[in-house]
Chain A
């Protein structure tokens, strides 16, 4: 019945991941305690690399279509090998990074099921990170990089919130709302990346994707299902959750999520090299367009549920028709405010990379001329706790400098705020060699 094989990392690396877990994911053992209650009859969780069998063995897209897929880095086109190594490092960083983010607010979940679901999501992200390390240590990367496998692993396990490769993984969670919205928005970007990489010209990478995608499907549900309940509670006047709070969290994550696709400017050709070299089957912009359509559908689903709960006196069809009219006219009707509904900002709003980076595009696509007015506009759409963060301050400072010509746009785009941490990360998790010793 199984169509995959499972592999452990060599012991020093396996131990390093477990060591990292003890310091960064101390709740991990609780998953086994709650498994039978929340995931009865599900296959037991395994911290291992899962390799799909029966995948295509010839390149599926790009200029080498039909040629055998590479089974070792040395067999790849050198340009493809460099891009691939970057993809694996970035993927690994996101997996470990998301656990560090979830950990901070996991305990604040009000519903035990929501918390158990988040816990499983975190454990599966740990497994995905483990899978990426397996790719780095199970093959010879010396033709591609001078960095030794142990050093690559050490670098990844040494990353903290604030030093990860992608901005979305350098933001701290403000509340459990972020755990859930993150799963709905950021894990969805992950789904797109994994789906695109399923056709990778590097066979070991392609065969890593299907098991990860299966787990990712649950992660999206762990985001959407609590949100479906929360919008209903908000509609009924629950004092503890409201649409404004959900909207602000959606805005926070959507903007960073768009940047995870890479350079998405329509004239930038972002991702075309990956397609040409057979590493992905969509360009950055194509994937991002599909993502935006999907999250639009998700918000429609949530808004529909909100309007139905707000107007329980209406039939479902009448409530859905009311929602459609409110969206069309952008005005209040029947006791439902347009402003209460969840919306996506313009794709160029509050961007630090790619399309609209450090340009002053408003939430609804309007243009701003004055920097301070724009900063106030952006801030008004962000969660209060996040607004006060070093992350937003860094963006505002960079925006001012770009518009005063003190910093070039290129340098501003490269710039990333570093979260100051007393003592940094766990010193022992910084070193695989330490575990060896």
Chain B
């Protein structure tokens, strides 16, 4: 029987679990990077960033927040900025539950739109987001080598 997934806000005690999930995905162990990132969200709106737990173990995370006024987009926007699901726990709907929980929070904070940016090489992520209702935005991501 599959264990039930529980989604809840991130706390400072989830830092190690998030760091290890990132390491399993990217091969890089970066505790200091995740400390700064996670504390950024905790101090601004600690109810926004989410983790998913199964049997008391954190198996996924999704970090984001509501901001407005960036890129000429004045309306409150729910930005999804970091997420990851432990490779060993994929395929069980964890990512969808994280998206649902974060979008619910965005709505509660007055956002009517959620946005994110996906690198074109990350087809799997783009596919996941499209399966969760995201569509191509009328925005263009630009860059210039420096």
Contact = CB atoms under 8 A, between A and B. Distances in A.
A228 interface: yes
B121 interface: no
Interface in A232-247: none
Contact of A228 (B20, B35, B110): B35
B109 interface: yes
**Which of under 10, 10 to 19, 20 to 34, or 35 or more describes the interface residues of B?**
20 to 34
Interface stretch (B11-19, B93-101, B134-142): B11-19
Contacts of B29: 316
The 3 closest A-B CB pairs, nearest first, are A217-B46, A221-B12, A1-B110
A368 interface: no
Given A294-B13, A305-B16, A218 B108 contact: no
Given A217-B11, A221-B39, A228-B31, A42 B16 contact: no
Given A3-B108, A316-B29, A220 B11 contact: yes
A225 B13 CA distance: 9
Contacts of B42: 217-218, 221
Given A1-B66, A305-B31, A316-B29, A42 B12 contact: no
Interface in B6-40: 9, 11-13, 15-16, 20, 23, 29, 31-32, 35, 38-39
B15 to A, nearest CB: 7
A214 interface: yes
Contacts of B110: 1-3
A25 B12 CA distance: 27
A1 B76 contact: yes
A155 B88 CA distance: 57
B69 to A, nearest CB: 10
A406 interface: no
Given A1-B66, A218-B39, A304 B16 contact: yes
Contacts of B66: 1
Contacts of A2: 110
A221 B12 CA distance: 5
B43 interface: yes
Interface of B: 9, 11-13, 15-16, 20, 23, 29, 31-32, 35, 38-39, 42-47, 66, 68, 76, 108-111
A341 interface: no
B131 to A, nearest CB: 28
A42 B13 contact: no
Contacts of A294: 13
Nearest to B38: A221
A301 interface: yes
Given A221-B12, A225-B12, A214 B45 contact: yes
A221 B108 CA distance: 25
21 contacts: A3-B108, A3-B110, A39-B43, A213-B46, A214-B45, A214-B47, A217-B9, A217-B12, A217-B43, A218-B39, A218-B42, A221-B12, A221-B42, A221-B43, A225-B39, A228-B35, A298-B13, A301-B15, A305-B16, A316-B20, A316-B23
Interface in A1-42: 1-3, 39, 41-42
Counting chain A CB atoms within 10 Å of each CB, which of B31, B43, B111 scores highest? B43
Contacts of B39: 218, 221, 225
A186 to B, nearest CB: 15
Interface in A280-332: 294, 297-298, 301, 304-305, 316
Contacts of B15: 224-225, 228, 301
A3 to B, nearest CB: 7
Interface in A350-377: none
Nearest to B109: A1
A220 B12 contact: yes
Given A301-B13, A304-B16, A218 B43 contact: yes
A41 B11 CA distance: 21
A155 to B, nearest CB: 32
Contacts of B38: 221
A39 B13 CA distance: 21
Contacts of A217: 9, 11-12, 42-43, 46
Nearest to B43: A218
A43 B68 CA distance: 13
A228 B36 CA distance: 12
Interface string A205-226: 0000000011001101101110
Interface string A37-64: 0010111000000000000000000000
Nearest to A184: B12
A318 to B, nearest CB: 13
Contacts of B16: 301, 304-305
Contacts of A220: 11-12
A43 to B, nearest CB: 8
B116 to A, nearest CB: 18
A319 B110 CA distance: 45
Contact of A224 (B9, B12, B23, B44): B12
Contact of B46 (A218, A298, A304): A218
A217 B15 CA distance: 13
Nearest to B14: A301
A70 B39 CA distance: 36
